[in-house]
Structure 1
């Protein structure tokens, strides 16, 4: 509080304000450049419902501003392929002055396009080049460009061994140089990738709250306490991720240590010579195996097998991204043998129909969360509580422990 020249007091604005009272940066525009348009349509519809409610309640003066409430926030775009495999992007609607959100799924591999009259399956490299084309088409017109890339392209190539390329750092710098203001990625392989572009806004929300709440919803009899459950990291690199779950759920932590043969490389990975477990006795406990992704499924299955052989009760595999690059056959077999009970992954990436139809697979719906992120970023709301869901998870588990689960 300060005094003005005419002795009138000037009251400093309160720091206790709600994000939805802030002024939008610009009208929202959403571009879905991958084949995952159903996901983006759901995000659009949820965002519309949120803003419609605010407009009906006239919750702030900005609800009447141009472009704040629209039935359709999607900006139509077209990717044209030449017969050589080269391409170009055309935006079919104006993006001038918009706060643009490009939602991309670099793992969406069901689409194909012809190269010299032969079908070519769209790869992550192709998707990334198309993303760059969209950014270049919108540059200088959109007021701000934000990219939502749930699975970080080249995120596993975050450091260098011997003469390897630094693909992740190069990719991030390229986005920054093209004018991307914010990059939103979920559960990255290593959060230290932000050091590659210290001047670009990178947000890394967790899928943990939705994973835990979904697990509880589909398994209401699951006991979450120190004596009934254990959280396990399948490798040493995933320990911080497992600690997050373990600490909030009050369950002991177990860790697998992988002794690798670094003199050999098979399909880009060094084979595991020995698997060692560090932790409390497993017998009679439900086990949550936490990882950042299920690639082929081999790591999850090997880990679960050791747990099962040591007397674990029910085993649940939780990962934000279920890639299943070699199909679901091995996981199906593990379920049929009673080794694994359920697998929970988000809908942030493309999932094959065979995976979605598997009775042991649980799809964790992240569309409300993505819509909430877009809504918050558009008004430059603080994202702290959204990025780190610790309080929400603690509240949820406390409600369960006292037997009163509220919405």
Structure 2
């Protein structure tokens, strides 16, 4: 029988999870997994009964709301006590499917409005929880992580706001730039990797994929994702390559504040007749990643797969549909850490990677005040998975 890692440990406090409406489905899955796992724990472990006080529950979700006034202003309202609770706040700031009315106008929720709701919930708690942890799978404003001349530094400011409101831990996944945690150097900040979940799902879906250097290659779409690609390549024992953008710095920048791209250069071994896995933290418009996929096809790559933690698809799916129909992209993997419309889920080339059990494990580990080091770096689990495939 597998040893229960929490059987001899006492939770620091009764557990509560506030799943913002932007993260309602993911929160429900996390809650369901926690209920099942803790029921099994109690069934297996008949000792330390006092340690289980507040351990088992029919639901760990906090009953709370963020209603809005007719003016569009809002407030947070807790419908149960959080005194002495180990509170986790889970929110997807990229979810644009929510709506609220101002007069007769319907307004879609934005990252700013969702982040304000997080602060409202913290404020409504009035310092009563034993501890507050905020889980932002997509770290709010992490694309605005550095300052160029006269610009705001939004991510750093947001982290400091949460710290000043009493948040002890901030949890995120595959951060665009994890060095932003330097804004809160003495505060808890954990950036979890999704590499194990991606590799496991890819291995289960692509039955004929061979994880060796003769058949597979990892590619980073730019220099910013180099460390991620290097990690994948090292744990899988394959080669990697990287594209970099050639820009025209003599031409006026575009509306997005960037100089126009005039081409892509590839650094790495030949991709001819190999499967290629492009790894990145997000798919936004998808322009660059698809152009790179076409470049790889020109270099005679066999099959091309894309794995990105956050599938935002901010410009729709038309270009992805065409890339699939052209035989350029074989499969796209993203996670359920951000909102995935039903339209996306029905695409023949799309696979959604479930991270709910991972979040459940993280919450359970922290609730027992034990180290997250073993789950923070998934190298050992990936190696065990690869051994089982051979």
The one-character-per-residue Cα deviations of 1:242-299 (angstroms, maximum 9, x if unpaired) are 0010111111110001123454033354432221001111110000001110001112
Partner of 1:142: 129
Q: Following the alignment from structure 1 to structure 2, what is the Cα–Cα distance between the partners of residues 393 and 250?
A: 11
**What residue is the counterpart of 2:83 in the other structure?**
96
Match of 1:188 in 2: 175
The alpha-carbon deviation at position 339 of structure 1 amounts to 0.3
Question: Against the structure 1 CA distance between its residues 310 and 365, is the aligned structure 2 distance closer, same or farther, given a 3 Å change threshold?
Answer: same
Query: Normalising by the residue count of structure 2, what TM-score does the alignment of the two structures yield?
Result: 0.96
Residue of 66, 73, 77 corresponding to 2:53: 66
User: What pairs with 1:197-236 in structure 2 (closer than 5 Å)?
Assistant: 197-236=184-223
Stretch deviating more after TM superposition (361-370 or 17-26): 17-26
Q: Aligned to 1:173, what secondary structure does the other structure show?
A: helix
- Check whether the contact 1:54–1:63 (CA below 8 A) recurs between aligned residues: no
TM-aligned CA distance change 1:391 to 1:335, over 3 Å? same
| Cross-structure match for 2:309 | 320
Whole-angstrom distance in 1 between the partners of 2:315 and 2:36: 39
- Asked whether the 8 Å contact 1:230–1:282 carries over to 2, the reply is yes
- 1:400–1:32: structure 2 CA closer, same or farther, 3 Å change rule? same
Which residue pairs with 2:338 in the alignment?
349
Q: Hey, what's the Cα distance between the residues in 2 that align with 1:363 and 1:387?
A: 21
Tell me the secondary structure at the aligned position of residue 317 of structure 1: strand
What is the alpha-carbon distance in structure 1 between the residues aligned to residue 246 and residue 162 of structure 2?
36
Counterpart position of 1:287: 276
Unaligned runs of 5+ in 1: 1-16, 402-407
Match of 2:378 in 1: 389
Matched with 1:86 is 73
**1:127 positional shift:** 0.3
Corresponding residue of 2:350: 361
Q: Deviations over 1:78-125 (max 9, x none)?
A: 111112211101011111110001100101111111124311110000
What's the offset of the Cα at 1:38?
Answer: 1.9
- Flag the structure with larger Rg: 1
| Structure 1 CA distance for aligned equivalents of residues 96 and 161 of structure 2 | 23
CA distance in 2, matches of 1:308, 1:237: 22
Residues 268 and 371 (structure 1), Cα distance of their counterparts in 2 relative to 1, 3 Å cut: farther
TM-score (norm 1): 0.92
- On the 8 A contact 1:62/1:68 being kept in 2, the answer is no
CA distance in 2, matches of 1:164, 1:324: 26
CA contact (8 A) 1:34 1:127 kept: no
